[in-house]
Amino acid sequence: MPIRAFIFDLDGVITDTAEYHYLAWKQLADEEGLPFSREDNEKLRGLSRRDSLLQLLKGNVIDEQTMQAWMRRKNDYYQTYLTRITPQDRLPGVTRFIEDAQTLGIRIGLGSASRNARDVLTRLDLFHTFDVIGDGYSVVNTKPAPDLFLWVAGGLRVAVPEAVVFEDAEAGIDAALKAGFWTVGIGHSNIGHAHIALPDLTETSPRDLISRIEALRTTRE
């Protein structure tokens, strides 16, 4: 089966919003007297807002109303940071890589856990680049469940083995592998279990990645 679609995660692949997530969670944690470090923040990559708060609470229990209020507060802080995002905040190699993929006729999807994904894409001037946008509102079961990437592939009208998922988070690679997608891990988190791991998209091209995947496919057959 030929590769017909690329599905990109947002935070850590298209742009780096992890720092803004960190600053927003840190503000909430400081106000509530909870310990929270940059190292803690790394573990939140790809997790939904609720799962992130549960991690931050480290087993401490708060009632649902307080959870909702804290998530709202964190998101208010986060959205203030988002106003700083411009097209210059696309990660290195992203613009050229996506343009080259489109030239090859590859369909482009987004699979992000974020409920702010549409706003971030708009600020990056990439909203219309994506044929299908899957975000934190698209499915109930968030990463590491495979549902979001399956939802995006369905929207793109491609079969799972025809799509490649680009992810920076362990939970995201787990989700994509569970569904049976080809995976490209980006960055320096725990993405060693992806089929291909790269520091970023600068030293590769869609053609190069597709031929590497086809070689992997052949060795498996």
Q: Which does 162 bind (CB under 5 to 8 A by kind): Mg ion, ligand B16, none?
A: none
State which residue, 45 or 123, has the beta carbon closest to ligand B16: 45
Asked if 112 interacts with ligand B16 (CB under 6 A), we say yes
User: Over the Cα atoms of the chain, what is R_g?
Assistant: 17
Residue selected from 4, 45, 123, 195 as contacting ligand B16 according to rule CB under 6 A = 45
For the question of residue 11 being annotated catalytic, the response is yes
Active site residue 16: no
Could you tell me if 6 and 205 are in contact, meaning their C-beta atoms sit under 8 angstroms apart? no
Closest among 45, 64, 43 to 55, alpha carbons compared: 43
Return the structure tokens found at 178: 């569970």
| Window of 3-11, 28-36, 156-164, 193-201 that interacts with ligand B16 by CB under 6 A | 3-11
Number of shown-chain residues binding ligand B16 (CB under 6 A): 20
Give 3 or 186: the residue with its C-beta nearer to ligand B16: 186
C-alpha distances in Å from residue 217, one per residue of 63, 84, 204, 214 = 49, 42, 19, 5
Q: Could you give the CA distance from residue 64 to residue 60 in angstroms, rounded to a whole number?
A: 13
Per-residue interface string for the shown chain with ligand B16, residues 153-172, x marking contact by CB under 6 A: ----------------x---
